[in-house]
Amino acid sequence: MTASASASGDIPAEDAPPTGALYSFGTPWPEFNEGISYTDTFRCTGATTTLVEFYSTSYKSSAPLPGWIKRIRNGQITVDGEVATDPDMILREGSKLVYHRLPWQEPFAPHLLDVLYEDDDMIALNKPSGLQVLPKGLFQQRTVLAQLQLKDWKMPSSFCSKRKYVQSHPVPVHRLGRGTSGLLLCAKTKLAKAQLAAYFAEGATNAGKSRDETDFCKSRKILKFYRALVTGKPAMSKVCVLERLENHNQTLIQVEIHSGRPHQIRIHLSYIGHPLVDDQNHSSSATNPTDSRGTARYS
């Protein structure tokens, strides 16, 4: 990686970035997103299948039968590029089906991102809590990726000779949960993306080979630490207690994870009796940290 290079601010002076940030950027979200399209290729199973039968059976959780009939009659589905408004249309083998979901108002999400570090290869952002990194579920537009795409990135003159290796905008190389705030690394070049992704993958691979914490940490290029506010008595798991808030029966802790499993920290802390504050989704009776999501380490 090259030396750090300061960048000019993207927001007015009265909205100066917080101490420690090089600058902040972000475009306010529109009231409604642009909708989204879902594509399928129809494969015949032997029996004749109508358009409404395909969608009402393939996507039962999306809408009941009347809902799909309404969507078809509204012209929200195309078959081989043509709008189909007849629910009883017979589908042919190999037909390309596209359902166009209408624009909707996404839940609230912050839009400003603080840049903590930047050079010619990468950028480090302070992701706020409440902002999703990549499109998923109800959040198709209000994401970190969308803000990276909206910003006009100034390409250094040194990149002119190697334009084919440069991306039009930085892309995240790892994820943080929507409710988690913290450092998010984004790659500006294809080489940086591949190298950073390899560093993160290396940590997960080595976690399964060695249980010696000292050797494990020395061999890693990237270390991940999380701080969380948990409830209950002082934690007895392999975490670092930063501050005990006795008046609130809470403890501020720092957690290091060696692999990135879905909800790993939430599940492990809940299992040992110290769930995250306001975490309603993970109870100790419903989770097990020794399942496929990872292994808890206790002191």
| Mean pLDDT, residues 66-72 taken together | 98
Which domains can be identified in the chain, with CATH numbers?
A: 36-101 (3.10.290.10), 113-157+167-206 (3.30.2350.10), 220-272 (no CATH)
CA distance 212 to 158: 43
**If pLDDT is split at 50, 70 and 90, which confidence band does 41 have?**
very high
Tell me the per-residue pLDDT of 80-127, one tens digit each, with 9 for 90 and over.
999 999 999 999 999 999 999 999 999 999 999 999 999 999 999 999
Return the number of other C-beta atoms located less than 10 Å from residue 127's C-beta. 23
Q: Is the pLDDT of residue 4 over 60?
A: no
Q: Considering only residues 6 and 288, tell me which one the structure prediction assigns the higher pLDDT.
A: 288
Q: Considering only residues 168 and 142, tell me which one the structure prediction assigns the higher pLDDT.
A: 142
**If pLDDT is split at 50, 70 and 90, which confidence band does 144 have?**
very high
Q: Considering only residues 291 and 126, tell me which one the structure prediction assigns the higher pLDDT.
A: 126
> In the prediction, which pLDDT does 294 show?
37
CA distance 253 to 248: 14
> Residue 87 has what DSSP assignment?
T
Q: Is the pLDDT of residue 20 over 60?
A: yes
| DSSP one-letter string for 254-278 | EEEESS--TTHHHHHHHHTT-PBTT
> In the prediction, which pLDDT does 24 show?
96
Place of tokens 């991940």: 224
Give me the sheet containing 82-83, strands edge to edge.
36-41, 96-101, 77-79, 82-83
Percent pLDDT > 70 in the chain is: 75
Q: Considering only residues 68 and 217, tell me which one the structure prediction assigns the higher pLDDT.
A: 68
Q: Is the pLDDT of residue 298 over 60?
A: no
Return the number of other C-beta atoms located less than 10 Å from residue 120's C-beta. 17
Q: Is 50 exposed, middle or buried (0-12, 13-18, 19+ CB in 10 A)?
A: middle
Helix or strand or coil: residue 8? coil
> In the prediction, which pLDDT does 217 show?
61
**If pLDDT is split at 50, 70 and 90, which confidence band does 1 have?**
very low
- Note if the pTM is more than 0.75: no
Is residue 214 a contact partner of residue 224, using CB atoms and an 8 Å limit?
Answer: no
Percent pLDDT > 90 in the chain is: 53
Q: Considering only residues 121 and 284, tell me which one the structure prediction assigns the higher pLDDT.
A: 121
Q: Is 259 exposed, middle or buried (0-12, 13-18, 19+ CB in 10 A)?
A: middle
Tell me the per-residue pLDDT of 156-176, one tens digit each, with 9 for 90 and over.
666 655 566 678 899 999 999
What token pair was written down for 278? Answer: 């306001």
- How distant, in Å, are the alpha carbons of 50, 55, 63, 99, 167 from that of 59? 14, 6, 7, 11, 36
> In the prediction, which pLDDT does 286 show?
45
Helix or strand or coil: residue 61? coil
Place of tokens 């790659």: 187
Is residue 185 a contact partner of residue 205, using CB atoms and an 8 Å limit?
Answer: no
For 115-124, 134-143, 194-203, 257-266, which range has the lowest pLDDT when averaged over its residues? 257-266
CA distance 236 to 101: 48
Q: Is the pLDDT of residue 13 over 50?
A: no
